[in-house]
Structure 1
Amino acid sequence: MRVSSFLLPKEEVAFITSSVTMKDAMEKLESHHYTAIPIIDNEGKYIGTLSEGDLLWKLKNTPGLGFDNMDQVPVKDIKNRVYNECVCINAQMEDMLALAADQNFVPVVDENRVFLGIIRRKDIIEYYTKNITD
């Protein structure tokens, strides 16, 4: 089965662009109750995922940085400690299991890496749970 059957489209997913600030990213994570969020560039291409941990490490390791001046730090200046792999819209569900073990969601892109949406780990687990045969 193709991953497109499980796609939560971009229009229904919160994401950020690499040009937003650290404060904007934190507010978007908070308002959507996310622990991580896809990052796309100005052309709509997936470039990575920003996690709460990335924000905390940036705060910890940047002298003078606090909640009052996070609006001066662009997301592109925050190191992503983990790179969430993406899959092409034409991939098969069998390609997803290993990724779901390490990621809350799997970003889905087209053949040009344009971000199309995500597949949630929950949906991947449900698919495999329903299709396990002895």
Structure 2
Amino acid sequence: MNIAFFLLPKQEVVCVTENATFRQTLERMEHHRYTAVPVISEKGEYRATVTEGDLLWFLKNNPELSFDQLHRVSLSEVPLRMNNRSVRIDADMEDLITLAKTQNFVPVVDDMNHFIGIVRRSDIIDYCEKLLLPGSKTEAKLMKEA
């Protein structure tokens, strides 16, 4: 089994670019109801992951900012507290699972560090459930989808 089996391709992943504003980032996260999203460079490289917590701590530490001013704040000004590491598409499954234990999703990159998608921890758990619990609801659902 390889990482590509679990890959959600970048076309289906909600991301922000590193030159996005605070407000654009916040609105994108709110619209899609995500608490964290990958940050991608203009060249398509994975840079980091921004979380709701990062945005909230920035607001707390900058009380002079009003919501109306957030379009003037660059995402690059927001300190990111989590170091969500990426994994290369050709990495071992052990590497992916090690990261997935502490990250809700693992960004996946190619050999040039270009972002190609994510692997969600929930997808790994669903797969393991199917293997461990034959006859489970997950197995029935997967059989129905096939």
TM-score range, shorter chain: over 0.9
Which position in structure 1 is the counterpart of 2:18?
18
Which position in structure 2 is the counterpart of 1:91?
91
| Identical amino acids, percent of aligned pairs | 47
CA RMSD after TM alignment: 1.4
Which position in structure 2 is the counterpart of 1:122?
122
Aligned residues: 133
**2: CA distance between counterparts of 1:69 and 1:38?**
23
Tell me whether 59-68 or 76-85 shows the greater mean CA deviation. 59-68
CA 1:98–1:132: 2 relative to 1, 3 Å: farther
Residue 39 of structure 1 contacts residue 49 of structure 1 at CA under 8 Å; is this kept in 2? yes
Q: Which runs of 5+ in 2 are unaligned?
A: 134-146
Question: How big is the shift at 1:132?
Answer: 4.9
TM-score of the superposed pair, with normalisation by structure 2 = 0.86
Q: How does 1:45-84 map to 2 (within 5 A)?
A: 45-84=45-84
**Counterpart secondary structure, 1:97:** helix
Which position in structure 1 is the counterpart of 2:35?
35
**2: CA distance between counterparts of 1:119 and 1:33?**
18
**2: CA distance between counterparts of 1:84 and 1:130?**
27
CA 1:91–1:128: 2 relative to 1, 3 Å: farther
**2: CA distance between counterparts of 1:81 and 1:39?**
13
TM-score of the superposed pair, with normalisation by structure 1 = 0.93
Question: How big is the shift at 1:129?
Answer: 3.0
**Counterpart secondary structure, 1:91:** coil
Amino acid at match of 1:30: E
Residue 96 of structure 1 contacts residue 124 of structure 1 at CA under 8 Å; is this kept in 2? no
* Larger relative contact order (CA 8 Å, sep ≥ 6): 1
Question: How big is the shift at 1:131?
Answer: 3.9
**2: CA distance between counterparts of 1:3 and 1:132?**
20
Q: Which runs of 5+ in 1 are unaligned?
A: none
Question: How big is the shift at 1:92?
Answer: 2.8
**Counterpart secondary structure, 1:106:** strand
Tell me whether 97-106 or 35-44 shows the greater mean CA deviation. 97-106
CA 1:78–1:49: 2 relative to 1, 3 Å: same
Amino acid at match of 1:103: Q
**1: CA distance between counterparts of 2:36 and 2:80?**
11
Q: Runs of at least 4 residues of structure 1 off by over 4 A?
A: none
Deviations 1:98-117 (CA, angstroms, capped at 9, x unpaired): 21121110000001110001
